[in-house]
Amino acid sequence: QVHLVQSESELKKPGASVKVSCKASGYTFTSYALNWVRQAPGEGLEWMGWINTNTGIPTPAQGFTGRFVFSLDTSVSTAYLQISSLKAEDTAVYYCARRSGYCTTGVCQKTFDYWGQGTLVTVSS
């Protein structure tokens, strides 16, 4: 069965960096795109972008460029989210999610069929 297991919660000071991992199992890692979703305390889901697990090319969403870096280590079926220069407003639960589906002739059938358990990143002095 498919599992996405994320790293444990982190407490960081403003200005520091954090690296969240997402280890996949139960399927061929390079066959599905890996997405990242943020959920601030008491808020909804916000898509951060995705990484092509075949090519390693990341596509961050608007607002998640610069300080946010998506990477992979396909040898261990693991995706990473690194956030640098942390700010208090980065405090959130970060989820990885496997995306299945595709786009054809302008119509997209994409869904997040499996999710990691989430990693709480708290930024506080």
Partner 1 sequence: QSVLTQPPSVSAAPGQKVTISCSGSSSNIGNNYVSWYQQLPGTAPKLLIYDNNKRPSGIPDRFSGSKSGTSATLGITGLQTGDEADYYCGTWDSSLSAQVFGGGTKLTVL
For residue 20, give both structure tokens.
């969240």
Residue 89 in the binding site for partner 1 (CB under 8 A): no
Out of 44, 55, 66, 125, the only residue in the binding site for partner 1 (CB under 8 A) is 44
Residue 54 in the binding site for partner 1 (CB under 8 A): no
Out of 10, 12, 47, 122, the only residue in the binding site for partner 1 (CB under 8 A) is 47
The CA-based angle 15-21-22, given to 5 degrees, is: 145
Which positions ≥6 away from 98 have C-beta within 8 Å?
2, 4, 24, 27, 32, 33, 34, 35, 112, 113, 114, 115
The CA–CA distances, whole Å, from 89 to 38, 85, 105, 116 equal: 11, 11, 38, 22
Closest CA to 49 of 33, 35, 68: 35
From the CB of 79, what's the least distance to partner 1, in Å?
15
Nearer to partner 1, 10 or 46 (CB): 46
From the CB of 33, what's the least distance to partner 1, in Å?
11
Residue 111 in the binding site for partner 1 (CB under 8 A): yes
Out of 95, 104, 124, 125, the only residue in the binding site for partner 1 (CB under 8 A) is 95
Q: Which residues are near partner 1 by CB under 8 A?
A: 35, 37, 44-47, 61-62, 95, 97, 101, 103, 106-118
